[in-house]
Structure 1
Amino acid sequence: MNRPTLAVRRLGIDTWRENVAFLHRDCPVVRAAGFQALSKVTIAAGGQSIAAVLNVVDDAHLLEPLQLGLSEQAFARLGAADGDAVSIEHAAPPPSHAALRRKIAGERLGREDLHAVVADIAAERYTKVELAAFVVATQQYELDREEVLHLTEAMIAAGRRLDWNGSGGGRPIVDKHCIGGVPGNRTSMLVVPIVAEHGLLCPKTSSRAITSPAGTADTMEVLAEVELAPERLKQIVHAVNGCLAWGGTAALSPADDVLIAVERPLAIDSPGQMIASILSKKIAAGSTHLVLDIPVGPTAKVHSEAAAQRLKRVFEFVAERLGLTLEVVLTDGRQPVGRGIGPVLEARDVMQVLRHDPQAPQDLRAKAIRLAGRMIEFDPAVRGGDGERIATQILDSGRALARLEAIVDAQGRRAEPPPPGPLVFDVPAPADGVVAGIDNLRLARIAGLSGAPQMAGAGLDLFVKLGDAVRRGEPLYRIHACVAADLGFARREALHDSAYAITGGAR
C-alpha cells in the first residue's frame, strides 16, 4: 500500500531534542488517516525515516494543506530539502514500550528490558512525555544496583566508544568528575592541565549544565570551542595530553543527552540515572581511571555522610563490573567553591588561580590540587602520597597555565571572551552577624534567573563565605545579567531570600 506523500517544509521551530511534525487541519492525510495532535508518526524521504510527534495547525500562512512541516531537530535528522516529497504513517509503539510501562508501575527491569529502553531513547522513538515518565519513574522507584549496572551498559552500547589504541603508552587514561550540586566548583579546568602536564592522558568530556548555572563545557566555551568531532578530539588529546570538551558532539552515550534534555526542566537528577550517566560517558570516552568528587552538605545533592557512603558503594559496584578503576573523594559541599557562579565568572576564577592572582579563590585552588594529586597517583611511577606535592609544583611553576593555554589553542581559542554581564545589583546583608549557612540550591536558582548559563556573562559574584562577618547593608554578592528582565527576576528572588543565613553579632 502506497503511503500518502506531502511536500516537506522547514518551519524553523526549535523543539530541543524532540522530532516534531506539523500538519494543517485541512490536510487530506489528516482526514483520511485519522491523525490527531500528539499522535506518533513515521516520516520517510529518500530512504531515511524518523519518528516524530504530530502537531496540528489551522493557519495556512504557517503551513498549507498539502505540506508537512518539520521542526529544526526533525528536519536535520530526516536530511530532506525544502519541497521534497515525504510520506507519513502512524508509528508503531517503540519495542520497549511494555518495559517502560512496567517501570512506571514500579517494577524492576532486567538487562534486556533496559537495553531495549535505552536503544529506543537513543533512536528518539520516545516522546518527551514518555521520556519524562521514565525519568520520574527512576526517581520515584529508585533503581537497584543491578539495574544501574544494566542501564550503564545499555548507555555505553547505544553510542560510540573512543579507543586510544595504546596512546597512553600503557599508562592510565584518567579523568575526573563531580556529581554536581555545588555552584562554582570549576576544578576540572585546573585539574586537567595539571594532570596533562604531568604526562597522563586526560580526555575530559563533560555535559552542559543540567540543573546548575554552568557546567564545565559551558565554562570552557568562554575560552575555546567545546563542540569537537571525535577525530578532532583524538588529535587534540594526542597533541596536548588532554581536552575539555562537550561530550554530546562525540556521540558518547547519546541516550544520556536525550534524557538530560528532559531532566533539566524537571530539575531531576535521580541517583541511578546520575551514576549511569557519569560512568557511561567516562567509559565511552575511553577512560580507564576516574576520580569522582561527591560534595556533601545540607543543600548539596548529597546531604549526609551516610548517604554519600551509600552512593559511593553503588558507584564502586558498577565501576568494578565494567573494568573502570574508581576512586571516590568526599568533599565539603556546604557552600559554593570559588567566587563566581556562571560561565564567565567561573572562567575568571580558574584563570586567577592559574595566574597566581592575589584575588584568586584559595578554596578552588586547594580543592583542585587535592583532586589532581589523586589522579597523578594513578601513575604507577608515583608513590602514594606524593600526588599533591607534584600537583602543587606544576601549578606554582606556571606549567599548568601553559598547558591550559595549549589546550585552548588546540581546541580553538575564542577571539574575545565575553565580559561579565553589565547589568548588576548588589544583594545586601539583612543584618549584622556572621555567615552561618549558604543555600547552594537557592544561589543556583538566582544565578539561573539572572540568565546563566544561556547568557555566559550572567551569574553571581560572591563577596563573603561561611564564617565571614558582615554588617547590615554590606553586599553579600553581586548579580550580573545581560538582559534587564533577567536582572529583575534575579533581584526579586534574592531580596525575597538571599540564600545566606546570618546569625549572632558582627565580630
Structure 2
Amino acid sequence: MKGGQSLSALRARRLGVVAPGAAFVFLRSDCGVCRSEGFDARAQVEIHHKGRSVTATLFHVISDILESDEAGLSEAAWQQLGLEQGDVVTVTHAPPLASFSIVRRRVFGGRIDDEGAREVIADVVAQQYSDIHLAAFLTDCSATPLDEPEMIALTRAMVETGDRLHWNQAPIVDKHCVGGLPGNRTTPIIVSIVAAFGLTMPKTSSRGITSPAGTADVMETLAPVNLSLTAMRRVVEREGGCIVWGGSVHLAPSDDILIRVSRALDFDAQGPMVASVLSKKIAAGSTHVVIDIPVGPSVKVRSEKAAASLATSLASVAQAFGVRTRIIKTDGRQPVGRGVGPALEARDVVAVLRGEPDAPQDLRDRAVTLAGAVLELAGAVEAGKGTKTAREVLDDGRAWKKFLRIAEAQGGLREPPVAPHTRAVTASTDGLVAAIDCRKLARVAKLAGAPGAPAAGAEIHKRIGDPVTMGEPLLTLHAETPGELDYAIAFLLGEPDIFMLTTP
C-alpha cells in the first residue's frame, strides 16, 4: 500500500468497447483489487501504466468474460495509455476532483472567474471529468446563463489548454456556422473562394457527433483531413487555406469534449456555445471571423430574439480578444443543398465549385454571400462589393482550381463513396410543402448510417413552397446496409410530419 492506494497489478485486456472521448475499465466484482479497495460500480478510478495515467469510469463484471486478475479497457483508455495486449496496469482510487467545487459553488449562485475557469477546463482536458460531471456543468450553464465576464474567462481557459497557431501574415480569416441546419456545407466553397482571392484561411472543422455530418466528415470523402499542425501549416503556407479536422491539431481540445456531452443532452447553452465557437478561432490565430447564425423553428437558434442575444455575446467576447467579427443571420427554416450526409453533401460542394448547371442554387447563394462577407470584413474589397467579387471568383473557375490544389496538398483528391442501397419516400397526398422539420430530417439521415457510414444519408427533392403530387418523391434515403435503410424507414413511418404539406 502507498498513500492508502492499492498497487495490485492487473493484466490489461483490450475489450474493443468504443465510446468516443470516454474511458471505461471493467473489473470482476470479486477480484482482489475491487474487494480490497472497495471500488463501487461507476466509481471514478485511475489506471496507471509506465508513467501514464487515465481517469476512467469503473463497471463491474460478474461473468467469465474477464479473469479475476484482468482489467478490461475501452478503446479510449487503451489508446491513452499506449497499451499492448498483456501489459500490466494498476488501478487506484481517483484523487478528489477539487475543481468541481467551483461548479458546485456556481450551482448555488456563485460565478466563475479566470482562475476557476482555468481549473475546471484543465481538469476537463485531463479527462478528470466524467460525463456526469460534464453534464452537471453544462446544465448549470444553461439554467443560469454565463454572464459576459464568465464567457470571456471560459473562452480564455479553453484557448490556453491547447496549442495555438501564429502566422507571419495578416489578416487571418475564418467563417463559422453555429449549426443545426442539415446540408449547410458552405465551408469548403468559402475557403476555396477566399484563398483563391489571396487571403489566408486556415480552417479547422468538426466531425458530426449527433449530427449526420460535420465539415470534416464531408471533406474526408474528398481528401485527407487528419493533418498534424506541421502538415496543416505547410498546406496553408502553400495554398493560403486548408480544411482539416480540428481534433487532429489539439486546438482548444476541451471544446470537442464539451460538444460531445452537450449534443447528447440535446441542448446548447449560450455561454458554452460562445466559448466553443471563439476558442477554436482564437487558437487558430484568426483575426477576422464571419459567423453564420441560421434561425428557424427546428434548428439551434429558433427566434430572432435568441439570435440577437447570441450575436451580441459573440461580438462582445470576440472584441475582448481583439478579433473582429461580422455576424449574419440566415434562413434556417429548411435544409441547404440536396444532400444530408458526408458523401451526399460532398457532391453538392463539388457541383457548386465546378459550376455544374444542376448544382443546388441555395448552397451556391449562401456560400457566395458568406464568402463576400469575409472579403469585406478583411478589407480585401470595398463594402457592398463582396458578394459580387465572390461570385466572380466562383464563376470563372478560380475557386475550383484552388480547391483542387488544397485537396492535393492535403493528400490528394478522391471520389466520394456511393451507397449500395437507396429507397425513395413519396408523398401520400397532393399539396404544397409548407414546412420541413430539420431536426427530424437530421435524425433520419443518422438512422440511415451517417456520418459513420460516409455514403449514407438523405437526398432532398422538395423545398418549402414546392408543389407535390401524391406518389412523388420527397426524399431518397441512402444506406450502406439494408438494416440501416429499414431502420430509417421505420422512423419515417412514425414521423409523417417531417414534410408538412398543405392544400394548394
Shared fold per TM-score greater than 0.5: yes
Separation in 2, partners of 1:414, 1:265: 33
Separation in 2, partners of 1:263, 1:188: 23
2:221 touches 2:414 (CA, 8 Å); kept in 1?
Answer: no
User: For 1:251-400, what aligned pairs fall within 5 Å after superposition?
Assistant: 251-400=250-399
The alpha-carbon distance between structure 1 residues 210 and 30, as it changes in their structure 2 partners (threshold 3 A), is closer
Alignment of 1:465 onto 2:463: yes
Alignment of 1:143 onto 2:149: no
Of residues 396-405 and 72-81 in structure 1, the stretch that sits farther from structure 2 once superposed is: 72-81
* Paired position in structure 1 for 2:442: 444
State the Cα distance separating 1:415 from its structure 2 match.
Answer: 4.4
Q: Secondary structure at the match of 1:377?
A: helix
State the Cα distance separating 1:221 from its structure 2 match.
Answer: 0.8
- TM (normalized to structure 2)? 0.95
Separation in 2, partners of 1:320, 1:352: 37
1:393-433 deviation line (CA, Å, top 9, x unaligned): 110111111111111111123544211x2322222223222
**Residue type matched to 1:362 in 2?**
Q
Identity %: 47
**Residue type matched to 2:412 in 1?**
R
1:210 touches 1:263 (CA, 8 Å); kept in 2?
Answer: no
State the Cα distance separating 1:64 from its structure 2 match.
Answer: 1.9
1:299 touches 1:440 (CA, 8 Å); kept in 2?
Answer: yes
* Paired position in structure 2 for 1:413: 412
Separation in 1, partners of 2:153, 2:462: 44
State the Cα distance separating 1:190 from its structure 2 match.
Answer: 0.5
Q: Which runs of 5+ in 1 are unaligned?
A: none
Q: What is the aligned counterpart of 1:24 among 24, 28, 45? A: 28
Separation in 1, partners of 2:313, 2:235: 33
- TM (normalized to structure 1)? 0.94
2:416 touches 2:455 (CA, 8 Å); kept in 1?
Answer: no
The alpha-carbon distance between structure 1 residues 451 and 80, as it changes in their structure 2 partners (threshold 3 A), is closer
Of residues 94-103 and 471-480 in structure 1, the stretch that sits farther from structure 2 once superposed is: 94-103
The alpha-carbon distance between structure 1 residues 477 and 15, as it changes in their structure 2 partners (threshold 3 A), is closer
Alignment of 1:92 onto 2:95: yes
- Corresponding pairs, count: 499
* Paired position in structure 1 for 2:473: 475
State the Cα distance separating 1:483 from its structure 2 match.
Answer: 1.7
1:323-361 deviation line (CA, Å, top 9, x unaligned): 111110111111111111111111111111111111111
* Paired position in structure 1 for 2:162: 159
**Residue type matched to 1:73 in 2?**
A
1:19-60 deviation line (CA, Å, top 9, x unaligned): 222222232122212122112222222222222222222334
User: For 1:158-177, what aligned pairs fall within 5 Å after superposition?
Assistant: 158-164=161-167, 166=168, 168=169, 171-177=170-176
The alpha-carbon distance between structure 1 residues 379 and 89, as it changes in their structure 2 partners (threshold 3 A), is closer
State the Cα distance separating 1:88 from its structure 2 match.
Answer: 2.3
State the Cα distance separating 1:270 from its structure 2 match.
Answer: 2.0
Q: Secondary structure at the match of 1:81?
A: coil
Of residues 88-97 and 277-286 in structure 1, the stretch that sits farther from structure 2 once superposed is: 88-97
1:203-246 deviation line (CA, Å, top 9, x unaligned): 11111124421111111111011111111111111111111111
1:437 touches 1:502 (CA, 8 Å); kept in 2?
Answer: yes
* Paired position in structure 1 for 2:39: 35
1:104 touches 1:133 (CA, 8 Å); kept in 2?
Answer: no
Q: What is the aligned counterpart of 1:63 among 40, 62, 66? A: 66
Separation in 2, partners of 1:475, 1:24: 53
User: For 1:95-110, what aligned pairs fall within 5 Å after superposition?
Assistant: 95-105=98-108, 107-110=110-113
* Paired position in structure 1 for 2:51: 47
Separation in 1, partners of 2:397, 2:250: 34
User: For 1:125-140, what aligned pairs fall within 5 Å after superposition?
Assistant: 125-140=128-143
State the Cα distance separating 1:252 from its structure 2 match.
Answer: 0.8
**Residue type matched to 2:468 in 1?**
V
The CA RMSD over aligned residues, in Å, is 1.7
* Paired position in structure 2 for 1:83: 86
1:225 touches 1:412 (CA, 8 Å); kept in 2?
Answer: yes
Q: Which runs of 5+ in 2 are unaligned?
A: none
1:271-298 deviation line (CA, Å, top 9, x unaligned): 2221111111111111111000011122
1:187 touches 1:364 (CA, 8 Å); kept in 2?
Answer: yes
Q: Secondary structure at the match of 1:248?
A: helix
State the Cα distance separating 1:9 from its structure 2 match.
Answer: 2.6
User: For 1:229-240, what aligned pairs fall within 5 Å after superposition?
Assistant: 229-240=228-239
The alpha-carbon distance between structure 1 residues 57 and 374, as it changes in their structure 2 partners (threshold 3 A), is same
State the Cα distance separating 1:105 from its structure 2 match.
Answer: 4.6
Separation in 1, partners of 2:142, 2:413: 39
1:175 touches 1:282 (CA, 8 Å); kept in 2?
Answer: yes
1:103 touches 1:134 (CA, 8 Å); kept in 2?
Answer: no
The alpha-carbon distance between structure 1 residues 382 and 487, as it changes in their structure 2 partners (threshold 3 A), is same
Separation in 1, partners of 2:209, 2:148: 23
Q: What is the aligned counterpart of 1:487 among 485, 488, 503? A: 485
* Paired position in structure 2 for 1:194: 193
Of residues 370-379 and 213-222 in structure 1, the stretch that sits farther from structure 2 once superposed is: 370-379
Separation in 2, partners of 1:82, 1:491: 41
The alpha-carbon distance between structure 1 residues 79 and 210, as it changes in their structure 2 partners (threshold 3 A), is closer
Alignment of 1:14 onto 2:18: yes
Alignment of 1:184 onto 2:183: yes
Q: Secondary structure at the match of 1:485?
A: helix
**Residue type matched to 2:8 in 1?**
P
